[in-house]
Amino acid sequence: MYTNSPFLDSKETVGMMATEPTIGFTGNFDPQGAPGESAPPHRQRANYNRRRCLAMRRQLGQNQRNYTDLHEWLEKKRQQGQTVIGPGFEYLMDFRYKINTCCHHALFREHLNSDTKEFIGAHTCKHKLCAVCNAQRAKKVRRTWWNFFEEYPDLIRQYDFMHLTLTVPHDATNSFRGQRWYADELMKEFNYMRKKAFWKKMVYAGEFGVEVTKNQNGLHIHIHALLLVHKSLQNRNSLHRQILLAWNMQTAGSGQRNEITAAEKASILKSNCLLTPEDVNCLSPDGATLIGLESLYLRSDQEKRGYRYDERSGYWKRYVRPEDGFDTFLGGIMECIKYHFQPMAMYEDGTLDFELITEILPAIKGKPLYRKFGAFHAGTKNAHPGAKTLNVNYKPDESGVELAEDLANLGHEEVIDPESGEPVLREEYRYLVVSLAKVRVDPNDDLRIKICKNVAPKYLDNAYTAFDALVEMDMMARARQRAVKNKFIKPKKAKSCLKLKSSETSVLTP
């Protein structure tokens, strides 16, 4: 299997009990083993589970740092006599609350004989800017696409896959068409172009996402799209030419450039051998003239064998073809769609731009920034037979139910002790709930999962199966959310809500 492929990490849960599914390990590798060696299957699964827990714990750590940074940013604003007003402040406070409570309920299975713990899953906040949830969202979409192409591998040979990047002229003062947040305008124009005859003739299907960053020209909102293009001679150059001419015309009148210089014209001509001087002379100077359309690739921050340096992006790239193998080519697809889940408003060092967050959170509320089109859009006349399997609904109220669905769909296997590899009886393990922030993965002890001292986990004595435990954890988390919400919104009813929480949990765990 190609090691540079940006693999999806599969599930956020792991195998549970006799006759219950094993989740979180589907490969045949040893994350800690030496090259050429293979650990026993139970050690492979244990290592994988611990590394998944470690990754999620690190993401939660990023949330905690963001929470602290936000508090310091607000305090600095207060000291400077500045106030954060408008709808953005309400959304900012909601974001602050969400990342501070994400993974407050995490489910583990504790083996009594070996005193080892397996990570099962956690109740997450589902916020778009949460480090934990953003990673889960990306995994879910990538897993969906990976499974889709495993089910329909003929598409890889039947079509040419391309990565399209679309931008529009914008500046810090007027942005695009006088709007600082112009994602809606951008998607409307892209939708309009997809209705053109050349697009319908050349592009079979695809998907796209909107990425938001910030530079000296203000908000930089752009589209990354995966295209399945009908095979033909020089189809990349032909499609690039058509998109350039159409996109330039659609975005004309929105930029500040008065003319296209001779050097810029030469650069445009060099990008596509099918472009003619007449094509370039017809381009509007104040419209978009930079179109990114290239084959799929794997990307690296460092020089590697088979990779070449791309000056425009600043990364090393290796372009992939179907002949390179299924996993390698799927790695290129995963690389393309990962742009849809780049954390918004984040600096290179992982810190957040809170000014930008305050501006964009109200704008993206309830608006999908990821869509499918063409034959991948289920319900259309010429939809692909598997288009419905690509529907990914990541709703804010999803939690343990989603994990339970995963449990029901991924095979069955008896529970084994992670240390000995021997099957265990039901009375030899138990389920517990604890905040993931109170858990550490010890790098000096074979990545064993440990609960911090002076922390009392909640044991789920009534949960016989992992399914039961997941549902109970979900109910505990929801009861706490209702209590906290009523405490701040309706102070007079806070006590009754807390009593309700106590009564609900007592029903589950007497």
Going through 79-217 in order, the beta strands assigned E by DSSP cover 106-111, 116-122, 159-166, 203-215
Q: Do 158 and 108 lie in a common domain?
A: no
Which residues are 212's β-sheet partners?
Answer: 221
Q: Do 268 and 185 lie in a common domain?
A: yes
Q: Do 251 and 306 lie in a common domain?
A: yes
**Residue 53: inside a domain:** yes
**Residue 26: inside a domain:** no
CA distances (Å), 34 to each of 29, 37, 38, in order? Answer: 11, 5, 8
CA distances (Å), 49 to each of 1, 118, 119, 400, in order? Answer: 20, 7, 7, 18
**Residue 429: inside a domain:** yes
Task: Tell me whether residue 123 is exposed, middle or buried, using C-beta atoms within 10 angstroms of its C-beta: 0 to 12, 13 to 18, 19 or more.
Answer: buried
Residue 394 CA to residue 56 CA, distance in Å, equals 18
pLDDT greater at residue 215 or residue 508? 215
Q: Give residue 487's pLDDT.
A: 63
Residue keyed to tokens 């244990």:
46
pLDDT greater at residue 507 or residue 349? 349
**CA 136 remoteness from chain centre:** 6
Domain around 470: 41-126+400-489
pLDDT greater at residue 27 or residue 335? 335
Q: Give residue 455's pLDDT.
A: 92
Assess contact for 427 and 111: CB atoms under 8 A: no
Q: Tell which of 348, 364, 390 closes a domain.
A: 390
Residue 311 CA to residue 170 CA, distance in Å, equals 22
Which tens digit of pLDDT belongs to each residue from 239-276? Answer: 999 999 999 999 998 878 889 999 999 999 998 999 99
**CA 137 remoteness from chain centre:** 4
Q: Do 203 and 306 lie in a common domain?
A: yes
Residue 175 CA to residue 168 CA, distance in Å, equals 10
Q: Give residue 212's pLDDT.
A: 80
**Residue 497: inside a domain:** no
Q: Do 100 and 143 lie in a common domain?
A: no
Q: Tell me if residue 137 falls in helix, strand or coil.
A: helix
Q: Do 404 and 481 lie in a common domain?
A: yes
Which tens digit of pLDDT belongs to each residue from 153-189? Answer: 999 999 999 999 999 988 777 678 888 888 889 999 9
Question: Is residue 218 scored above 70 in pLDDT?
Answer: no
**Residue 147: inside a domain:** yes
Q: Give residue 492's pLDDT.
A: 41
Q: Do 411 and 383 lie in a common domain?
A: no
CA distances (Å), 29 to each of 32, 88, 373, 388, in order? Answer: 9, 46, 36, 32
Which tens digit of pLDDT belongs to each residue from 419-464? Answer: 888 899 999 999 999 999 999 999 999 999 999 999 999 999 988 8
3-state SS of the chain: helix, strand, coil percent to 5?
Answer: 45, 20, 40
**Residue 498: inside a domain:** no
Number of domains observed in the structure of the chain: 2
Stretch (H or E) spanning 291: strand 291-295
Percent of the chain with pLDDT over 70: 80
Render 405-466 in DSSP notation, one character per residue. HHHHHS--B--B-TTT--B--GGGEEEEEE-GGGEEEETTTTTEEEEPTT---EE-TT--SH
Which residues are 122's β-sheet partners?
Answer: 106
Instruction: List the one residue out of 455, 456, 458, 469 whose CA is nearest residue 426.
Output: 469
Alpha-carbon Rg of the chain, whole angstroms? 25
Residue 434 CA to residue 432 CA, distance in Å, equals 7
What integer is the mean pLDDT of 361-366? Answer: 82
As a whole number, the mean pLDDT across the chain is 81
Question: Is residue 69 scored above 70 in pLDDT?
Answer: yes
Q: Tell which of 356, 390, 424 closes a domain.
A: 390
Q: Do 68 and 152 lie in a common domain?
A: no
Per residue in 270-300, is it b (16+ CB within 10 Å) or e — as a string?
ebbeebeeebbeebbbbbbbbbbbeebbbbe
Which residues are 159's β-sheet partners?
Answer: 230
Whether the full predicted model's pTM is greater than 0.75, yes or no, is yes
Quote the Cα angle for 389-393-399, to 5°: 120
**Residue 416: inside a domain:** yes
Question: Is residue 90 scored above 60 in pLDDT?
Answer: yes
Q: Do 418 and 450 lie in a common domain?
A: yes
Q: Do 310 and 432 lie in a common domain?
A: no
Q: Give residue 135's pLDDT.
A: 86
**Residue 459: inside a domain:** yes
Q: Tell which of 329, 361, 390 closes a domain.
A: 390
Q: Give residue 488's pLDDT.
A: 54
Q: Give residue 403's pLDDT.
A: 56
State the CB neighbour count (10 A cutoff) for residue 318: 20
Residue 58 CA to residue 372 CA, distance in Å, equals 31
Going 260 to 263 to 264 to 265, the CA torsion angle's sign is positive
| Helices of type H across 80-124 | 87-101
Q: Give residue 170's pLDDT.
A: 81
What integer is the mean pLDDT of 133-147? Answer: 86
Residue 235 CA to residue 261 CA, distance in Å, equals 28
What integer is the mean pLDDT of 471-491? Answer: 76
Ranges 123-137, 208-222, 292-306: which has the least confidence: 208-222
Q: Give residue 111's pLDDT.
A: 95
Question: Is residue 141 scored above 90 in pLDDT?
Answer: no
Q: Tell me if residue 479 falls in helix, strand or coil.
A: helix
Q: Do 179 and 238 lie in a common domain?
A: yes
β-strand pairing of 370-374 with 203-215: antiparallel
Assess contact for 290 and 167: CB atoms under 8 A: yes
Q: Do 435 and 359 lie in a common domain?
A: no
